Structure 1
Amino acid sequence: MGLLWPIVEFIVVIALVFALGLGAAIAFEAFRRRFNHAHLEAHPIFEDPSSLKQVPSPYVFDPAEKYISLIIPAFNEEHRLPGALDETMNYLQQRAAKDKSFSYEVLIVDDGSADGTKRVAFDLVREHTVDNVRVILLGRNHGKGEAIRKGMLHSRGELLLMLDADGATKVTDLEKLENQIHAVAKKELHFGDSAASDTSSRISDIPIAAFGSRAHLEEKALSTRKWYRNFLMKGFHLVVLLTAGPGIRDTQCGFKMFTRAAARKLFTNIRLKRWCFDVELVYLCKRFCIPMIEISVNWSEIPGSKVNPLSIPNMLWEMALMSVGYRTGMWKIRT
Structure 2
Amino acid sequence: MESVWTMVDIFVIFLLIAVLGFVLIILVEAYRRRNNHGHVGTPAIFEDPNSLKQVPCPHIVDPASKYISLIIPAFNEEHRLPGALKETMNYLQQRVLKDPSFSYEVVIVDDGSVDGTKRVGFDFVRKYTVDVVRVILLGKNQGKGEAIRKGMLHSRGELLLMLDADGATKVTDLEKLENQVQSVAKKEFHCGDSTNNDSSFRIADVPIAAFGSRAHLEEKALATRKWYRNFLMKGFHLVVLLAAGPGIRDTQCGFKMFTRAAARKLFTNVRLKRWCFDVELVFLCKQFRIPISEISVNWTEIPGSKVNLLSIPNMLWEMVLMSVGYRTGMWRIST
* Residue 303 (structure 1) aligns with: 303
Structure-1 residue corresponding to 2:333: 333
Structure 1 stretch 163-172 or stretch 230-239: which is displaced more?
230-239
Distance 1:90-1:111 versus aligned 2 partners, 3 A rule? same
SS at match of 1:38: coil
Instruction: Please list the CA deviations of residues 139-160 of structure 1 after superposition, one character each: whole Å capped at 9, or x if unmatched.
Output: 1111111111000000000000
Could you tell me how far 1:236 is from its partner in structure 2? 1.1
Please give the residue correspondences for 1:168-187 in structure 2 after superposition, counting only pairs within 5 Å. 168-187=168-187
Aligned residue for 1:317?
A: 317
In the TM superposition, 1:1-335 aligns within 5 A as: 11-38=11-38, 43-190=43-190, 202-225=202-225, 229-335=229-335
User: Which stretch shows the higher mean deviation, 47-56 or 4-13?
Assistant: 4-13
Q: Secondary structure at the match of 2:202?
A: helix
Partners in 1 of 2:4 and 2:129 — Cα distance? 72
User: Share of identical aligned residues, percent?
Assistant: 78
Matched residues in 2 for 1:4 and 1:225: separation? 47
Code of the residue aligned with 1:134 in structure 2: it is: R
- Distance, in Å, in 1 between the alignment partners of 2:109 and 2:256 is 16
The alpha carbon displacement at 1:17 in A equals 3.1
**Are residues 240 and 203 of structure 1, via their aligned partners in 2, closer, same or farther at CA, if it must alter by over 3 Å?**
same
Give, in whole Å, the separation in 2 of the partners of 1:176 and 1:5: 65
Report how far residue 162 of structure 1 moved: 0.3
Letter of the structure 2 residue corresponding to residue 109 of structure 1:
V
Measure the CA separation in 1 of the matches of 2:96 and 2:6: 74
Q: Which amino acid aligns with 1:17?
A: I
Structure 2: give runs of 5+ residues left out of the alignment.
none
Amino acid aligned to 1:53: K
Structure 2 length normalisation: TM-score? 0.93
CA contact 1:39–1:268 (8 Å) conserved in 2: no
User: Residues 35 and 332 of structure 1 are in contact (CA less than 8 Å); yes or no, is this contact kept in structure 2?
Assistant: no
1:58 Cα deviation from its structure 2 partner: 0.2
- Whole-angstrom CA distance in 2 between matches of 1:108 and 1:300: 21
AA aligned to 2:157 is: G
Preserved contact between residue 37 and residue 270 of structure 2 (Cα < 8 Å)? no
Instruction: Give the superposition deviation at 1:20.
Output: 2.0
Change in CA separation of 1:221 and 1:334 when aligned onto 2, cut-off 3 Å: same
C-alpha distance in structure 2 between counterparts of 1:165 and 1:229, whole Å: 24
Structure 2 CA distance for aligned equivalents of residues 235 and 295 of structure 1: 23
Relative to structure 1, is the Cα distance of residues 226 and 98 closer, same or farther in structure 2, using a 3 angstrom cutoff?
farther
Structure 1 Cα separation of the partners of residues 162 and 259 of structure 2: 12
- Asked if structure 2 preserves the Cα contact closer than 8 Å seen for 1:252 and 1:278, the reply is yes
CA distance in 2, matches of 1:41, 1:257: 26
**2:211–2:257 CA contact under 8 A, matched in 1:** yes
In terms of mean alpha carbon deviation, does 315-324 or 230-239 score higher?
230-239
Deviation at 1:118, TM superposition (A): 0.9
Instruction: From the superposition, tell whether residues 102 and 117 of structure 1 become closer, same or farther in structure 2 (CA, over 3 Å).
Output: same
| Structure 1 contact 228–309 (Cα < 8 Å) conserved | no
Task: Compute the displacement of 1:25 (Å).
Answer: 1.2
Which region of structure 1 is more displaced relative to structure 2, 208-217 or 17-26? 17-26
Q: Quick check: 1:30–1:321 contact (8 Å CA) kept in 2?
A: yes
Shift of 1:3: 8.1
- Residue 10 and residue 116 in structure 1: after superposition, are their counterparts in 2 closer, same or farther (change >3 A)? farther
Task: Using the TM superposition, give the Cα deviation of residue 21 of structure 1 relative to its aligned residue in structure 2, in angstroms.
Answer: 2.0
Check 1:11–1:113 CA distance in 2 against 1; reply closer, same or farther (3 A cut): farther
Unpaired segments ≥5 residues, structure 1: none
Q: State the Cα deviation string for residues 273-294 of structure 1 (Å, max 9, x = none).
A: 1110001101100100101111
- Once the two structures are overlaid, the 10-residue window that deviates more, 286-295 or 19-28, is 19-28
Residues 259-268 or 88-97, more deviating: 88-97
Matched position secondary structure for 2:135: strand
**Matched residues in 1 for 2:208 and 2:151: separation?**
18
Amino acid at match of 2:279: V
Q: Structure 1 residue 9: deviation in Å?
A: 5.1
Deviates more, 1:118-127 or 1:28-37: 28-37
